[in-house]
Amino acid sequence: MCRCTEGLSRRDALKTVAAAAAALAASGFPLGFTKAADTTGGATKKVLFYTRSQGFQHDVVKRPDNNKDDVLSFAEKEFTKLAKEHNIDLVCTKDGAIFTPEKLAQFDAIAFYTTGNLEAEGGDKTPPMPKGGKEALLKYIESGKGFVGFHCASDTFHGGDNERADPYIKMIGGEFDGHNSQQKSKIRAVGGFAPLKEVKDFEMNEEWYRFKNIAPDMHVILVQETGSMREQVYKDRKPYPETWARMHGKGRVFYTSMGHREDVWTSDVFHQVLLGGLSWALGHVQAEVKPNLHEACPEVEKVRPAEGNA
């Protein structure tokens, strides 16, 4: 029985659960969180939120007190609040030393908001991954665990193009290829990904990424409608994936390019995307993630844009 129903009769408990499920459904958040808590005796899933910046550090993950764990960044606070509301034990860290097989084994999923080579010194002066840390991460995911990447998680572990892309990039499904000024863009919902079936087309002001090394086996969930954007470097590229999911070995990988701005982190649609992706990555809800890149973005590879800003 979940914590909220301890001490109630079975009939009353079921009524409480049903009411909670109805309220959650009305709010548009993934029902899988409630179902998982109720059917597993209230078992709490443990998630690692890793926000180290070996390269550029985004404002939403800057900690105000020299990166001490007791003073969290804006994104960490928002994610922690959502996690508590949905029976998730979220551990926030910038310390790469946690990336060993033994330490990762305690987590059910890992979320990244990272930049650069995480095995190297630099950036925010936090400890890098130990030797073999990236390999430990990839094996952890391949074994059947979950991974959620936000925004600059695709601006991490850069390599070459296509087959020479870094193994991490092949895992996450796409690599940062630049961005221009923050602007509004229409985002098209493809449909078919069960945890986000309530998310419809929307418009958002954000720092929108462009991508290369896009995995052909991804399941596209949301599409960047480039025709709605004001700069030619976007218009010259046909609509491309903005949020997606894919399998990596037995592991469930979810990525969204959203998450640069504070008002994005507090928006209802981002909460839906975050919770829907995390609920699937944790195995709380099931979803079919068959490849649909060319159905969702039929001309994604047709036009190579001119070089834009970083």
Whether 37 is covered by a domain: the verdict is no
Of 245, 205, 240, 244, which is closest to residue 226 (Cα–Cα)?
Answer: 240
Q: How many folded domains does the chain comprise?
A: 1
Whether 126 is covered by a domain: the verdict is yes
Cβ atoms < 10 Å from Cβ of 244? 30
Whether 30 is covered by a domain: the verdict is no
- What does the DSSP 8-state code read for residue 158? -
Query: How would you write the pLDDT of the chain (310 residues) with one tens digit per residue?
Result: 233 333 334 444 334 333 333 334 444 445 455 444 444 445 799 999 999 999 899 999 999 876 666 789 999 999 999 999 999 999 999 999 999 999 999 999 999 999 999 999 987 889 999 999 999 999 999 999 999 999 999 999 998 777 789 999 999 999 999 999 999 999 999 999 999 999 999 999 999 999 999 999 999 999 999 999 999 999 989 999 999 999 999 999 999 999 999 999 999 999 999 999 999 999 999 999 999 999 999 999 876 655 555 5
Query: What are φ and ψ of residue 284, in 5° steps?
Result: -70, -35
The token pair at 12 is 């009353």
Domain of 143, in residue numbers: 44-296
- Which CATH number do you get for residue 121? 3.40.50.880
Whether 271 is covered by a domain: the verdict is yes
Whether 211 is covered by a domain: the verdict is yes
**Helix (H) / strand (E) containing 18:** helix 10-27
* Alpha helices (H) along 44-146: 74-85, 101-104, 133-142
Of 45, 8, 4, 44, which is closest to residue 24 (Cα–Cα)?
Answer: 4
Q: Contact, 136 vs 99, CB < 8 A? A: yes
Whether 36 is covered by a domain: the verdict is no
Residue with tokens 């509004």: 184
| E-only strand ranges, the chain | 45-50, 88-93, 109-112, 146-150, 175-179, 183-189, 202-206, 209-212, 219-225, 240-248, 251-256
Of 252, 239, 243, which is closest to residue 298 (Cα–Cα)?
Answer: 239
Whether 50 is covered by a domain: the verdict is yes
Whether 309 is covered by a domain: the verdict is no
